[in-house]
Structure 1
Amino acid sequence: MTADFPAAGQVFDYHYLWKWQADRGESEGRKKRPSCVVIVVTNQTGQHVMFIAPITSKSPDEGRVALKIPETEARRARLDSDVPLWVVLDELNADILETSYTIEERSPRGSFGAAFTDAILHEVKRLRTAGGLKLSSRT
């Protein structure tokens, strides 16, 4: 694990569990995908709780909230910059770094810049306040 992982804006490969999968009783993400650390908080026991957003090349469905990743940000995060990509913001996974069985590689592949990371966090906060954020706990 790198000394600075996890940090907001870092992108790593993660077995993301979509909310619809969790609602069906699934507990494993079906495939590893690039995902973004939105925010990290420390819980009462000193563990790092990561809130993780999925990255997809599939255009978001009507009613979903996602930010299109600019080509420059895709290159920074070491993502494919030849295809359109989005960070899905209306659903997140919550996972504890120290006890996670789903985080295999604990080094980021890359990181978004500060302005784009702030835009992600701002939108997630807005969604949370408005009651539009879905969460799948992996803890």
Structure 2
Amino acid sequence: MSEPFRRGDVLAYPYLWRWQAEENSSREHGEKERPVCMILTVTDKQGLTHMLLLPISSKQPLDERDALEIPPLEMRRAGLTHYPRGWITITECNYDILERSYYLDQSQEVMGRFSEAYLEEIRKAFAPFLAQGTARVSRT
């Protein structure tokens, strides 16, 4: 990979759901790799890339307030055309550090990328949950 992943990229990642982490505090791995959206990246003074990753699912959430349905055009941009429909969860995220991650395959190809306009919609929906301080599941 020639450059780090960017905000809006859709990648494969073994996402660890908050309920899984709370159920078993020693659990480190998600059940399967799934598409995730890199919603935020910040490079610190040491050059490390801190990432927040939001999970994407083809299954409609039980509580519709937990996720945004991904519009068909954004599904195509994200490389998710094998899903008939898709939702991005906005109530939780995984936190990881790119250069130290045990979970992210840094050599993988990006599946696709959401548009800046749609990323802004996601950011606005996710911000209140991030501000509460309970949305983040640390993978470091």
Change beyond 3 A, Cα 1:2–1:74: farther
2:127 maps to what in 1? 125
Q: Show the counterpart of 1:9.
A: 8
Residue 12 of structure 1 aligns with an amino acid whose one-letter code is L
Task: Identify which range, 15-24 or 76-85, moves more after superposition.
Answer: 76-85
User: Which whole-Å CA distance do the structure 1 matches of 2:109 and 2:95 have between them?
Assistant: 18
Contact preservation (8 Å) 2:92, 2:129? no
- Correspondence for 1:116: 118
Q: Cα 1:21–1:72, aligned 2, differ >3 Å: closer, same or farther?
A: same
Q: Aligned residue pairs: how many?
A: 137
2:71 partner amino acid: P
**Aligned sequence identity (%):** 37
SS at match of 2:47: coil
Over the aligned positions, Cα root-mean-square deviation in angstroms equals: 1.8
Check 1:107–1:82 CA distance in 2 against 1; reply closer, same or farther (3 A cut). closer
Alpha-carbon distance between aligned partners in 1 of 2:120 and 2:74, rounded to the nearest angstrom? 13
Give unpaired runs (5+ residues) of structure 1.
Answer: none
Task: Give the TM-score taking structure 1 as reference length.
Answer: 0.89
What is the alpha-carbon distance in structure 2 between the residues aligned to residue 66 and residue 132 of structure 1?
18
2:58, 2:83 within 8 Å by CA — same for their partners in 1? no
For residue 95 of structure 1, give the secondary structure of its aligned residue in structure 2. Answer: strand
Q: Which runs of 4+ in 1 moved over 6 A?
A: none
